[in-house]
Structure 1
Amino acid sequence: MNVTRRNVLLGTAALAAVGGAAVMVPMAMRPGTMAPSTSRARPVAGQADLPPEADVVIVGAGIMGVATAFFLAEKGLSVVVCEKGGIACEQSSRAYGQVTNYGLPQEVVELGQHSKSLWRAMNARIGRDTSYRDYGRVQAFQQDSEIEAAREWLAGAEAAAPDHAPIRARFVEGAELAEMLPGAQSDWKMGLYQDDDGGMEPALAAPAVAEAAIARGVAIVTDCAVRGYETEAGAISHVVTEKGAIRTGALVVAGGTWSRLLLGNAGIGFPVLPVYLSQQRIGAVDGPPACGAVGRVVWRKEVDGSYSNGPRFMTAPILRDSFALLPDFLPALPGMLMGDTPLDMALGADLTRSFRVERQWRLDEQTPFERARIMAPTQNDGTLDESLGWLREEFPVFNQARVIERWAGTVDVARDQLPVIGPIRAVQGLFVMGGFTFGLTQGLGAGELMADLVAGTAPAIGPNHFELERITGGKAGRSRPA
């Protein structure tokens, strides 16, 4: 079994390749619609006033933005983070929270392993509890084909991992596997155990990093949407926000699913599409391992003893951008269709909403960001019920656990599932990071890498896999009309 998110990309572009009422009616019935939401994140107070200048301005106070700010501040640069809502209020507090590379493309293994090494040391480094724990993680298999695919992935991952953060993984079976999966009802043939994997509570992790950044002098200005930027001689000179302009020589766009819209207003193409995922937290029980995956269900233990549980289901909303980016995503569709992670395509209110969102505005005009402070998709209760049912069938002890909370989040993905971390070469001083399918796993490593690129210091890991030009056809980020 190839346990990746490789096929989550197909739905957002596939509508133009399929048709008929037999397809469109079920899509129209599937839940998951973007709506105003409240934050899951532990509250961290930002500041109201916008400083007049900074060495670097960052758009977005999610894990990517605050991690980049933290590492830049450690280098002695002055940093301002502008956030349209609150700190970590959207995807960064709604993720799965498993910290693992398993099944991801080999090109991100180095980034993921380096990031895990940073998370492992982060509590001591900042004097705060990020909630990260080295639980270890077991992935269980029943079929020989699944085991062979896992062996192939591990061999490549071991070769790609950096020397300072090697993958610590081994195959387990028999009594040892049974001990790792106490109470499991299925006959699992083998498991891949990674003891360098872990987990964290998304509602706590990014806020802790944000507090550490603030303690190092970073200004995080909340309720402050960025409208665009100004240049002098082809280089970033000012960032224009709803609270005024700030002078700077570097701008990092780390706005998650909003980055494409912001860059598009400036004529910069950022070809990523969103997918929705649902998650739930259930009560504490004794017995099951802290972190694992079996069949179509994953789970993770929280620091308070409760468990987070998520199904391997994604919902790809059909949007205006689904059609605009069809030429970009279509060549990848055959490979996407070979995966086994179920993906729903949703045809509903999000499509009409996407056509109403402005794509162009002046810098003295209100923007879509100011009308959407905190947005999240509604959760898919059906798939969450099914996921919890699978978990209870496999581990009957979970029958004692009640559902505490449910939510959904949004992940932005590129056609090759690799993140973008680097400069936009059309504008000196402009950088972008996005397209993270495992954002918390990669968050600290990505933030450190971006900080090195902005500051011009030698990075600990190679940046070449993450350049924007790989998905824009070498067009330096300039977009075609969409």
Structure 2
Amino acid sequence: MKLTRRNVLLGSGGLLLAGAGAITIPMALRPGSLQASKSRARPVSGQGTPPAEADVVIIGAGIMGVSTALFLAEKGLSVVVCEKGQVAAEQSSRAYGQVTNFGLPQEVVELGQQSKMLWQGMNARIGQDTSYRAYGRVQAFKEDSEIEEARAWLAKAEAVAPVQAPIRARFVEGAELEQLLPGAQSEWKAGYYQDDDGGMEPAFAAPAVAEGAMARGVTIVTECAVRGFETEGGAVSHVITEKGGVRTKALVVAGGSWSRLFLGNADINFPVLPVYLSQQRIAGVEGPPAVGAAGRVVWRKEVDGSYSNGPRFMTAPILRDSFSLLFDFLPVLPEMLSGDTPLDMTLGSDLPRSFGIERSWKLDQQTPFERARIVAPTHNDGTLDASFGWLKDEFPAFKEGRVIERWGGMVDVAKDEIPVISPVPSTQGLFVMGGFTFGLTQGLGAGELMADLVAGDVPKINAKNFELARITAG
């Protein structure tokens, strides 16, 4: 299956159609609702209160926040990270965990390759095992049309990849493909193979980076929601948390799916929508290929021998923002509707809940972030069962396996599926990063880019593709 912008965004487009009253797509009521949850991440001990002053304050201790903090600290800046819950407790510990950028929009290829290069050196850089491994990955194809699409994508991607991190890819077939997919039952015609693709266990990756940042002097304060910020002369001057204020000249909003709500309280539009995803781990299996992707299924062997598996389905919750952002997403609907990814939507308790969440508050008031320390959507057992069933059919060795864990995650997407890593033009010293549908893949590159922007250094990759103005103009 071709990974395209429309495929990732089909869920959001479908919910917008539902919001407009269209009936051209049947709406299935799928499982998926936000609930209080426990962190999947390895615990990291944070500080109890923030300092009175810092060069930079970062909201969110997921992979985006902690990697930005790491690179800023390496530039000699004092950094405090405020996290409403625990380090990597939400999406950063709930991802699939592969590092590849195959099939993604050309605008993010450079970011993905730079990030991959950084992941390859991160263990040595911080003196910790992030669990990242480069083990190679094959994307299998049955049809000539799929192969030609992949060849065309590669040609364009090679042209935009950074000189310091070129794409190392080739097409394989015959005996070599069989060796990469041992035991496969289908007659795969060819495969796209990148030997430097890799992955990591999400439960360990961001916590290791966080500890690397703390070793460089970064302060991470957990159970500490940021309520807002104050300005002087149009520039950030103070960040107000539930545990007190921090004087600073720079604030980076890296709150994942919470960033839109936070910025909205300051009358700043950040037009992204959430989508839910489901993942699982399978144990007791010997013999299948260590990693791969085919059809609508991906799989990856973990360090402990279990397999992570995720279907390429996303569930779009119909929320208050589905209506308010209708016209932002409307222009991309034709492209989304031409995709071949099934459309899952959920119309349930999250809709009335979204109307009940405060959209504005004063800085001395409790915020929604303090009432939702760690949340995650429930997982979709139907798509997970189907994904595991496909693995069993394609690789009979999986029939001996058993599901040992399932979980749901939540990412936010922009209408063009390209992340935002950008200053906020209206406020000097305010920055935002979000819209990452492949956050662990792009996390280190995004953190490095954001650190360069905050510090006023020349970015190592083109920053223009990620400017906020591209999705707020018009």
Tell me which interval the TM-score lies in, with the shorter structure as reference length: over 0.9
Q: Distance in 1 between matches of 2:196 and 2:24?
A: 47
Q: Once the 2 structures are TM-superposed, how far is the Cα of residue 147 of structure 1 from its aligned partner?
A: 0.9
Which residue of 1 is the match for residue 296 of structure 2?
296
Q: Residue type matched to 1:439 in 2?
A: G
1:193 and 2:175 equivalent?
no
Structure 1 residue 285: Cα displacement: 2.4
Higher mean C-alpha deviation, range 226-235 or range 5-14: 5-14
1:204 aligns with 204
Q: Does 2:472 correspond to 1:469? A: no
Q: Look up the match of 2:283.
A: 283
1:11 alignment counterpart? 14
* CA–CA distance in structure 1, aligned partners of residues 98 and 284 of structure 2: 17
| Alpha carbons 1:98, 1:198 under 8 Å: kept | yes
Q: What is the distance in 2 between the residues matched to 1:341 and 1:431?
A: 33
Taking the TM superposition and a 5 Å limit, the aligned residue runs for 1:7-156 are: 7-9=7-9, 10-19=13-22, 23-24=26-27, 26-27=28-29, 30-156=30-156
C-alpha displacement of 1:17: 4.0
- Distance in 1 between the 2:301 and 2:4 partners? 21
- The one-letter amino acid paired with 1:309 is N
Once the two structures are superposed, residues 335-383 of structure 1 have per-residue CA deviations (whole angstroms, 9 ceiling, x without a partner) of: 1122222230111111111000000100000000000000000000111
Aligned partner letter, 2:3: V
Q: Which amino acid aligns with 1:364?
A: D
**Aligned mates of 1:157, 1:178 — CA distance in 2:** 26
Q: Secondary structure at the match of 1:111?
A: helix
1:456 corresponding residue in structure 2: 456
Asked whether the equivalents of residues 199 and 291 of structure 1 are also in contact (C-alpha less than 8 Å), the reply is no
Q: Secondary structure at the match of 1:23?
A: coil
Aligned position for 2:231? 231
- Cα distance in 2, alignment partners of residues 6 and 75 from structure 1: 38
SS at match of 1:44: coil
Shift of 1:305: 1.2
Q: Distance in 1 between matches of 2:187 and 2:21?
A: 38
C-alpha separation in 1, matches of 2:21 and 2:157: 35
Secondary structure of the structure 1 residue equivalent to 2:133: coil
Conserved? CA contact 2:5–2:416, under 8 Å: no
Partner secondary structure for residue 327 of structure 1? helix
Separation (CA, whole Å) in 2 of partners of 1:35 and 1:18 = 28
Counterparts of 2:155 and 2:180, CA distance in 1: 23
Aligned mates of 1:19, 1:331 — CA distance in 2 = 15
Aligned to 2:407: 407
Q: Which amino acid in 2 is paired with 1:467?
A: E
The residue type paired with residue 195 of structure 1 is D
Distance 1:16 1:227 in 2: 30
1:12 and 1:273 in contact (8 A); partners too: no
Distance 2:100 2:284 in 1: 23
- 5 Å-filtered alignment, 1:160-199, equals 160-199=160-199
Q: 1:215 to 1:82 in 2, by over 3 A?
A: same
Deviates more, 1:56-65 or 1:9-18: 9-18
Give the equivalent residue in structure 2 for 1:352: 352
Secondary structure of the residue aligned to 2:382 is: helix
User: Is the 2:133–2:200 Cα contact (8 Å) retained in structure 1?
Assistant: yes
1:215: which partner in 2?
215
Range with greater deviation from structure 2 (6-15 or 181-190): 6-15
For residue 422 of structure 1, report the CA deviation from its aligned partner.
1.0
Is 1:429 the equivalent of 2:429? yes
Q: CA deviation at 1:76?
A: 0.5
Following TM superposition, by how much is the alpha carbon of 1:244 offset from its aligned partner in structure 2, in angstroms?
A: 1.0
Shift of 1:286: 2.5
Which residue of structure 2 aligns with residue 370 of structure 1? 370
Q: 1:18 to 1:192 in 2, by over 3 A?
A: farther
Structure-2 residue corresponding to 1:157: 157
Q: Hey, what does 1:339 align to over in structure 2?
A: 339
Per-residue CA deviation, residues 136-164 of structure 1 (Å, 9 max, x unaligned), is 10000001111111111111111110111
2:386 aligned residue: 386
**Deviation (angstroms), 1:420:** 0.2
C-alpha displacement of 1:15:
1.2
Per-residue deviation at 1:284?
A: 4.5
C-alpha deviations, 1:145-189, integer Å up to 9, x for none? 111111111111111101111111101111110110000000001
User: Take 1:313 and 1:389, find their aligned partners in 2: how far apart are those partners?
Assistant: 15
Please report how far the alpha carbon of residue 11 of structure 1 lies from its aligned counterpart in structure 2 after TM superposition. 2.5
Partners of 1:20 and 1:161 in 2: CA distance: 42
Residue deviations 1:289-340, cap 9 Å, x none? Answer: 2221011110011111111000111100010000100100010011112222
Residue 479 of structure 1 aligns with which residue? none
SS of corresponding position for 1:150: helix
Q: Which amino acid aligns with 2:4?
A: T
Quote how far apart the aligned CAs of 1:4 are. Answer: 3.2
Query: Which segments of 5 or more consecutive residues in structure 1 lack a partner in the other structure?
Result: 475-482
Q: Is it true that 1:323 corresponds to 2:323 in the alignment?
A: yes
Asked if 2 retains the 8 angstrom alpha-carbon contact of 1:252 and 1:432, the reply is yes
2:33 alignment partner AA: T
- Give the residue type in structure 1 aligned to 2:139: Q
User: Given that residues 132 and 199 in structure 1 are in contact (C-alpha distance below 8 angstroms), is that contact kept between their aligned partners in structure 2?
Assistant: yes
**Alignment match, 2:311:** 311
Contact 1:312 1:342 in 2 (8 A): no
In angstroms, what is the RMSD of aligned CA positions?
1.2
How many correspondences in the alignment? 471
Q: Paired residue for 1:477? A: none
